[in-house]
Amino acid sequence: MSSVDELTLRSDSLEVVVLPAIGGRIHRIRAFGADLLRTPPHAATHLDEPIFWGAYPMAPWCNRAMAGTTEVAGKDVRLVPNFADGTAIHGLVLAAPWTSNADGSMRVEAGGDGWPWRHDVSFVPRVSGRTVELTYRLVNRADSPMPAGLGLHPWFRRPVEVRLPAEAVYDANSGSPREPESVAGSFDLRTLAEPSGGLDATWTRLGERRIELHWRQLGVRAVLEMESDATSACVALASPQSIDAVAIEPQTHGPDPLRRLTHGEPDAPILLGPGGELRLVIRLTVAASPA
């Protein structure tokens, strides 16, 4: 197993391990000695399977986009499928090597090919007390407006209870409906409980941009907060039966983002002007609780 450079941040309550060379991803979040993420035994495992471990940034789009050629904002976008359902999933930077800086920040450049806009993404992780703060910035380096989205894709270990205060949901992430529907049944996550297995959807119309999590067996509670410049705030959640974790993904637009933008649908990504910046801040604050 090859070695991978790790950046480790610690406080009395938290240990966070970041892998700049593999998508600037988070390999581990450990709270009070307990792992909260689905973390492989070896960091290099992320090289072979970048989708289903840890937590990684999504840019310049999140969720699933249709593969192939699409005209967007006057440009031809040519996306290559990278997922079993034939979609282009989670953007361009989740497995790319990021450049680390002396201050602990990191950066990656992308685009100018099938995604015709050059852009860069920067990431600053901070740990203080019981909070890990992750600040992402996406900058359009092209000379024309670019569709822009940012998100974080953490795989949280099961069993975990979740409270997601959203009033509406797109009940499928692949071929999503144009309009969201009011939450009901297994899609109503407004009360703290374990999500049903087999969900793969995106929630919108959040009453507050915060998600509660509770690992009773580990004796850990957490609050995940989202702050962004974008007008939309969505959360994708996937609970596949085959994975011992739940993906809970705060992001700045809904599924099928390019279709939403070109057809004027709700929760579309923003168009970021030349030199413009989109910011996303994720804060995870943990607390010990009786198991």
Answer yes or no: is 183 within a domain.
yes
Answer yes or no: is 241 within a domain.
yes
pLDDT band of residue 2 (cuts 50, 70, 90) is: low
Residue 290 has pLDDT above 80, yes or no: no
Answer yes or no: is 234 within a domain.
yes
Domain extent, residue 175, equals 7-288
Answer yes or no: is 194 within a domain.
yes
> What ranges in the chain are assigned the alpha helix state H?
45-48, 257-263
Answer yes or no: is 2 within a domain.
no
Query: For the segment 37-88, what is each residue's pLDDT rounded down to a tens digit?
Result: 999 999 999 999 999 999 999 999 999 999 999 999 999 999 999 998 999 9
**HSE-up (13 A, CA, CB side) for residue 186:** 13
| pLDDT averaged over every residue in the chain | 96
CATH of the domain at 90: 2.70.98.10
pLDDT band of residue 1 (cuts 50, 70, 90) is: very low
* Burial of 214 from C-beta contacts in 10 A (0-12 / 13-18 / 19+): buried
Residue 291 has pLDDT above 70, yes or no: no
**To the nearest 5 percent, what fractions of the chain are helix, strand and coil?**
5, 50, 45
Answer yes or no: is 240 within a domain.
yes
Contact 98, 105 (CB under 8 A): no
Answer yes or no: is 1 within a domain.
no
Answer yes or no: is 121 within a domain.
yes
| Domains: count for the chain | 1
Query: For the segment 99-151, what is each residue's pLDDT rounded down to a tens digit?
Result: 999 888 999 999 999 999 999 999 999 999 999 999 999 999 999 999 999 99
